[in-house]
Amino acid sequence: MNFNEVNLSNPILRALEELKFEKPSVIQEKTIPVVLEGKDVLGCAQTGSGKTAAFSLPILEKLSKEKSKNIRALILTPTRELAVQITQSIESYAKYLSLRIGTVYGGIDQKYQVDMLKKGVDILVATPGRLVDLWDQELISLCKVEMFVLDEADRMLDMGFLDSIKLIAKQLPVKRQNLLFSATMPKEIERFAMSMLKDPVSIKQARVTDTVSTISQSVYYIDEPNKLLLLVQLIKAGDVKNAIVFTNTKRSADKVMKHLHQAAVRVRAIHGDKAQRARQDALLQFKNGKIKVLVATDVAARGIDVAKLSHVFNFDIPESPDNYIHRIGRTGRAGETGTAINFCNIDDVDNLKAIERHIRKRMTVVESEWPMKILEKKEKPQGRRGSGQAGRNGKSAEWGKTTDAPRRDRAARKEKDPIDITKVKDVTPSGKPVVKKKYTPFKPSSKSESGKDKTDSRRDKKDGRRDFKKDSSYGKKKKAVTGKAKY
């Protein structure tokens, strides 16, 4: 199918031609006609499958038919960077139309945004927090909105935006078209979607837990203190053209950035403690290829589109499998290939296994010159109980803390599906002999070994983020989530 078969008019087709969009992607092919018909949509497709154009193109088509000075389409996104990116994409599709597109998001002075709103826009892309702020001040009118889009809806709920979204939805005319998009569709979202959407057409492409098949995924089992050494080694190796390195906390992001900087890598970091301008600058420099590595917390996990991103590193394994899908989905976009590399320390093994179960894929295990301590010890099992355990199921005898653990703990450990040692040993990196270094024990500081920052307590009031305690999807996690915004 071509774009001209989905009923888009010439100015849009011309812009798409210039952007070298030859054919609609599957989600675009399915969504565009349904939106043009005026129906509500519950859209769910993999990362990088072209959801932005799937909802924007029919919006442009419909709105271009008449002129007005009102906000007729409202698009909500979870992060400021994503709001900017979506605006830029829509502007590029609308190059030959006379529609005005505006953006409002927190972290910067509202003055410019207020001026822009006064002049009038047809399409507004917004983060919920700033939008509610402006509405509170009676600086924005939403009563003429005909089309309402929630992009990355699950993330917005995760970030505690549900009340803001409900408040915003109340200000909109009852008769409107709703489009809800997400690459993952947890139960809460389905419930929320059912309450907001009217008789929606559900458009699903692939299983939502699928990671994109063009992304190769591998894991290094490595002790926390060696992760930085391995990261520098891999980033300096030839095949990393550019990379996003994800960490779980702002503090970990800063540490990784500093280390890469010292190793003469062109790098910047992006997380919730950085000023909005610095966040925007870093992203722009990364997109323009001026820096090779962007170190980021999950603020950059959603929606961010960097053309031809070669690598994603999970320096810390994410606590939620859905976040894993989104993080690695920054690469392998629009049918390109990509590489996702995970660093898994002993504390992260359960999370990694949960991810593998969720995506129904086993990652290739790669051995570095810094093998995990527990694996080295495994080669020389100590003690009767230890070797017995290992002999029975080929798994680590030292899973957990001591070989003298009570029986019920051993049973529990067995259930945890520990690292498959045999597999680890089978893999040798590209024929080269692996130089095995003796493991040097790490002396943890008073902070937690995983580098998690228990002191990060700032929350982004401007964007209306609330306590993570209230966030069910975080609350359920086994690992301690302190109830504070960590990224």
Nearer of residues 45 and 419 to ligand ADP, judged by Cβ: 45
CA-to-CA distance for 116 and 101, rounded, in angstroms?
10
Q: Is 53 in the site for ligand ADP (CB under 6 A)?
A: yes
CB of 412 to Mg ion, least distance (A): 39
Listed ranges 20-28, 154-162, 416-424, 432-440: which one lies at the site for ligand ADP (CB under 6 A): 20-28
Residue 53 neighbours by CB under 8 Å, 6+ apart: 21, 24, 25, 28, 89, 93
Residue 246 three-state SS: strand
CB of 117 to ligand ADP, least distance (A): 25
Q: Is 167 left (phi over 0), alpha (psi -120 to 50) or beta?
A: alpha
Task: Tell me the site size for ligand ADP, rule CB under 6 A.
Answer: 17
CA-to-CA distance for 267 and 235, rounded, in angstroms?
11
Q: Is 128 in the site for ligand ADP (CB under 6 A)?
A: no
CB of 138 to ligand ADP, least distance (A): 33
Strand partners, 75: 125, 149
- CA geometry: angle 210, 307, 152, nearest 5 deg: 45
Q: Which of 6, 15, 24, 226 binds ligand ADP (CB under 6 A)?
A: 24
Nearer of residues 21 and 220 to Mg ion, judged by Cβ: 21
Inter-residue contact 268 to 294 (CB < 8 Å): yes
- Helix (H) or strand (E) run with residue 41 in it: strand 41-44
| Sheet order of strands, 364-366 included | 267-270, 293-296, 243-246, 311-314, 338-344, 215-221, 364-366
Inter-residue contact 12 to 97 (CB < 8 Å): yes
Residue 56 three-state SS: helix
Residue 382 three-state SS: coil
Q: Is 51 in the site for Mg ion (CB under 5 A)?
A: yes
Per the structure block, which two tokens stand in for 216?
Answer: 């190769």
CA-to-CA distance for 51 and 64, rounded, in angstroms?
20
Strand partners, 104: 126
Choose among 393, 234, 239, 241: nearest CA to 309: 241
CB of 273 to ligand ADP, least distance (A): 26
Q: Measured between alpha carbons, how far is residue 24 from residues 7, 13, 27, 73, 449 in Å?
A: 12, 11, 8, 22, 47
Q: Is 49 in the site for ligand ADP (CB under 6 A)?
A: yes
Only one residue has tokens 């995760």, namely: 158
CB of 52 to Mg ion, least distance (A): 5
E strand spans, 146-253: 147-150, 177-182, 201-204, 215-221, 243-246
Q: Which of 6, 8, 42, 52 binds ligand ADP (CB under 6 A)?
A: 52
How far, in whole angstroms, is CA 131 from its chain's centroid? 22
Beta carbons within 10 angstroms of residue 290's beta carbon: 12
CA-to-CA distance for 229 and 209, rounded, in angstroms?
32
Listed ranges 241-249, 282-290, 295-303, 345-353: which one lies at the site for Mg ion (CB under 5 A): 295-303
Q: Is 303 in the site for Mg ion (CB under 5 A)?
A: yes
Task: Tell me the site size for Mg ion, rule CB under 5 A.
Answer: 2
| Among Mg ion, ligand ADP, none, partner that 25 touches (CB below 5 to 8 angstroms by kind) | ligand ADP
Q: Which of 29, 133, 298, 305 binds ligand ADP (CB under 6 A)?
A: 305
Burial class from Cβ neighbours inside 10 Å (0-12, 13-18, 19+) for residue 207 reads: exposed
Choose among 185, 237, 176, 232: nearest CA to 206: 185
CB of 177 to ligand ADP, least distance (A): 19
Nearer of residues 152 and 453 to ligand ADP, judged by Cβ: 152
CB of 231 to ligand ADP, least distance (A): 26
Per the structure block, which two tokens stand in for 263?
Answer: 């190793």
- What is the pattern of x (binds ligand ADP, CB under 6 A) and - over residues 251-290? ----------------------------------------
Nearer of residues 184 and 320 to ligand ADP, judged by Cβ: 184
Listed ranges 21-29, 254-262, 317-325, 424-432: which one lies at the site for ligand ADP (CB under 6 A): 21-29
Listed ranges 19-27, 366-374, 394-402, 409-417: which one lies at the site for ligand ADP (CB under 6 A): 19-27
- What is the pattern of x (binds ligand ADP, CB under 6 A) and - over residues 193-232? ----------------------------------------
Residue 217 three-state SS: strand
CB of 57 to ligand ADP, least distance (A): 9
CB of 156 to Mg ion, least distance (A): 12
| Among Mg ion, ligand ADP, none, partner that 72 touches (CB below 5 to 8 angstroms by kind) | none
Q: Which of 41, 44, 48, 189 binds ligand ADP (CB under 6 A)?
A: 48
Q: Which of 279, 333, 378, 395 binds ligand ADP (CB under 6 A)?
A: 333
Nearer of residues 275 and 334 to ligand ADP, judged by Cβ: 334
Residue 276 is given by DSSP the state H
Nearer of residues 55 and 192 to Mg ion, judged by Cβ: 55
Nearer of residues 56 and 389 to ligand ADP, judged by Cβ: 56
* Contacting positions for ligand ADP (CB under 6 A): 21, 24-25, 28, 45, 47-53, 303, 305, 307, 333-334
* Contacting positions for Mg ion (CB under 5 A): 51, 303
